Copies of this chain bind each other. A is one copy, B any other.
Amino acid sequence: MSEYKKSERVAAIVRMLTDSPNRLFNLSYFMEMLNAAKSSISEDLDTIDNVFKNLGLGELETVTGAAGGIRYIPRKDKSKYREFIDGLCINLSKVERIIPGGFLYTADILYTPSICSEIGEVLASCFASKKPDYIVTVETKGIPPAFMTARALGVPLVICKHDNRVTEGSSVSINYISGSTKNIRTMSLSKRSMEPNSKVVIIDDFMKGGGTARGMMNLMKEFNAEVLGIGVVIATREPKTKLVDDYVSLIELVDIDEEKGTVELKCGNWERL
């Protein structure tokens, strides 16, 4: 019989499962750690699944078969995500966030782990069913939200760079045209970064013209990777026609008026998914 009580086993199992979202744990892992019978662990997992569902804290997914087990999926009710995004919109529309030139200061939001973790969870929930092998982003500000999306999906992140660092070995480079400024820029990725023929989702912090996302799509072609989708934290309403056809945004930036000191933000198109 287990030396641990049910509530103690549950505490340990929740800690392990939620610390590695989407990682598949074999039941024997918990049986050994807690010196418990399979039937006890199964009951514990049912308890956890029930209360998580009741309180909207995520879900447990059972995979059957010899290589099967249990994994934690950090999927919450849409209403909870909606509440979170609405809160973000209020925070981001503060007048002091307006930067001369019509930009919006967002770094504090993206670089605060508790907020960025939730952003990653919402983005992950948009693409989880597509089962990507990697999340792809480009330096710099997109890295934290892309990394937290990757964490929620339990897959590695791949970071494209704006120069060729000698420390990562041979790389593939492409040129692309910034959608808004029309400047030519270079983007490169180490050949070791990903397996060929992978499935990827592109994540970035911001999209205006869509040139950067288009650049990443072109770079992915060089790796024979299939792009399953594109997700951004904030997308501008204008220009309506972007250089990528399809993307998911958490927040839509409708307008920044420097004169009046107003920022208009709306919930993005992520809810439609």
Contact = CB atoms under 8 A, between A and B. Distances in A.
A112 interface: yes
- By secondary structure, the A interface counts as helix
Interface in A131-152: 139-141, 143-144, 147, 150-151
Interface size class on chain A is 35 or more
Given A57-B15, A101-B166, A169-B100, A108 B161 contact: no
Contact of A107 (B33, B108, B159): B159
B159 A140 contact: yes
Contact of A113 (B157, B161, B192): B157
Interface string A26-51: 00000001000000000010011011
A151 B144 CA distance: 11
A165 to B, nearest CB: 8
A248 B19 CA distance: 25
Nearest to A18: B15
**Integer count of this chain's copies in the complex:** 2
Interface string A107-141: 11001111011000000000000000000000111
Contacts of A69: none
Nearest to A15: B57
Nearest to A149: B113
Nearest to A58: B15
A168 interface: yes
A64 interface: no
A241 interface: no
A179 interface: no
B107 A23 contact: no
B51 A111 contact: no
Contacts of A23: 114
Interface stretch (A1-9, A80-88, A216-224, A265-273): A1-9
A254 interface: no
Contact of A169 (B51, B105, B143): B105
A51 B143 contact: no
A52 interface: yes
Contacts of A10: 7, 10-11, 14
Contacts of A99: 166-169
Given A12-B55, A105-B169, A108-B193, 12 more contacts: A5-B47, A7-B47, A9-B51, A11-B48, A11-B51, A12-B57, A15-B52, A19-B117, A112-B156, A139-B139, A140-B140, A143-B147
7 contacts: A10-B11, A12-B52, A20-B114, A107-B168, A111-B157, A113-B154, A139-B140
